[in-house]
Amino acid sequence: MYDIVIIGAGPAGLSAAIYARRAAKTVLLLEANSYGGQIVNTPDIENYPVEEHISGFEFAMKLYTQATNLGAQLKFERALSIESAGDKKVVKTAKGAYEAQAVIIATGAENRKLGVEREDDMVGKGVSYCATCDGAFYRNKAVAVVGGGNTAIDDAVYLADIAADVYLIHRREEFRADSATVQKLKEKENVHFVLNSTVSSLVIENKVVGVEVSDKEGNTQTLAVDCLFIAVGRIPENQAFADVLSLDAEGYAEAGEDCITAAEGIFVAGDNRAKEVRQLVTATADGAVAATNAVKYMNSLS
């Protein structure tokens, strides 16, 4: 039996592990994929206090090292359910069942699909959700990025230094991304803004060779690109725990800034929690708050 099982080893989960270990609680982290979460796909983080520039990969490595050096245990297993048994919680995976006094769900969010025909078939053949993973394949080629949030704009900035041309396709005139990052993109000479437009289809000849784009007036144009990088937001990964969590209309877990859910002993931290600001710094802060409240909860049991 562990004191705390933390589901998800992204910035929120790893930060929770640091706080829980420093409170001398035993911690098991369960991670379905690789540790670090979505931030590993961010090429250059410029808005985390103290670090003027750090890659998402390096950030994740440091956080992982810090948590495991403090004694947090990590297993690469997908949590499938949480059950209550008296004061205990049981987290089940395909390999086993792990008992704990408290559970912190820090599962984050997965990439939202754009919804164009043959999108799934073309992953790895000119459709990508990760500029830092796949950008290097398109050196001196033309690529497109779709989206208007921080991820899309960061990706386009990154790709502009690799590709010959970058088309930034966004369905509106205004961006969700912060203005400093948008300004940085505007300064890139090889970036072409295709605004008020959506991707209507992929042009495919065994692999992607272009995208067809339609504007609000119904005009279409074909952009000759070798890859479409899709960055149209994320979907919270709470479905497996829908029976113990209360989810809002978009699937985010309802819990206040204290990260306490309606289910006793279950806490939620990071991008899968319903909240206003989803940033790296708020994910790590959630981890600290959730772990602190989980420790308080455990101490109240004894």
Told to check if 232 binds ligand NAP by CB under 6 A, we report yes
Element (H, E) at 7: strand 2-7
What are the structure tokens assigned to 288, written together?
């600290």
- The residues facing 109 across adjacent strands are 236
Number of Cβ atoms within 10 Å of the Cβ of 230? 26
Is there binding between residue 231 and ligand NAP (CB under 6 A)?
yes
Indicate which single residue of 66, 214, 279, 292 sits in contact with ligand NAP (rule: CB under 6 A): 279
- From the CB of residue 131, how many other CB atoms can be counted at a distance below 10 Å? 28
Q: How far is CA 50 from the centre of its chain?
A: 22
Tell which one of 157, 280, 288, 289 touches ligand NAP (CB under 6 A).
280
Alpha helices in the chain (DSSP H): 11-22, 56-69, 131-134, 150-160, 179-186, 280-301
Closest to ligand NAP by CB, 101 vs 272, is 272
What's the min distance (Å) between Cβ of 80 and ligand NAP?
26
Sequence-ordered list of residues with C-beta below 8 angstroms from that of 123, at least 6 positions apart, any chain:
129
Closest residue to ligand NAP, based on beta-carbon distance: 149
Backbone angles phi, psi at 139, to 5 degrees: -60, 130
Task: For strands 73-75 and 27-30, give the pairing.
Answer: parallel
From the list 278, 284, 290, 294, which residue makes contact with ligand NAP (rule: CB under 6 A)? 278
Note whether 176 binds ligand NAP by CB under 6 A. Answer: yes
Of 17 and 39, which CB lies nearer to ligand NAP in the complex structure? 39
Report the 10 Å Cβ neighbour count for 257: 12
| Residue 147 lies near ligand NAP (rule: CB under 6 A) | yes
Pair 274, 268: CB distance under 8 Å: no
Please say which residue, 4 or 231, places its beta carbon nearer to ligand NAP.
231
Catalytic residue among 44, 133, 248, 258: 133
d(C-alpha 262, C-alpha 102), whole Å: 13
- Whose Cβ is closer to ligand NAP: residue 21's or residue 170's? 170
- In the list 101, 151, 261, 272, the residue contacting ligand NAP (rule: CB under 6 A) is 151
CB of 32 to ligand NAP, least distance (A): 19
For residue 134, indicate whether it is catalytic.
yes
**For residue 258, what is the DSSP state?**
T
Answer yes or no whether residue 149 interacts with ligand NAP by CB under 6 A.
Answer: yes
130 in active site: yes
Tokens representing 202 are: 């992929």
Q: Is 152 near ligand NAP (CB under 6 A)?
A: yes
Of 70-78, 184-192, 205-213, 274-282, the window that binds ligand NAP (rule: CB under 6 A) is: 274-282
Closest CA to 73 of 117, 23, 20: 20
In the shown chain, the binding pattern of residues 109 to 138 toward ligand NAP, with x for contact by CB under 6 A and - for none, equals -----xx-----------------------
Instruction: Establish whether 133 is a catalytic residue.
Output: yes
Binding site for ligand NAP (CB under 6 A): 42, 45, 47, 114-115, 146-152, 154, 171-172, 176, 198, 231-234, 278-280
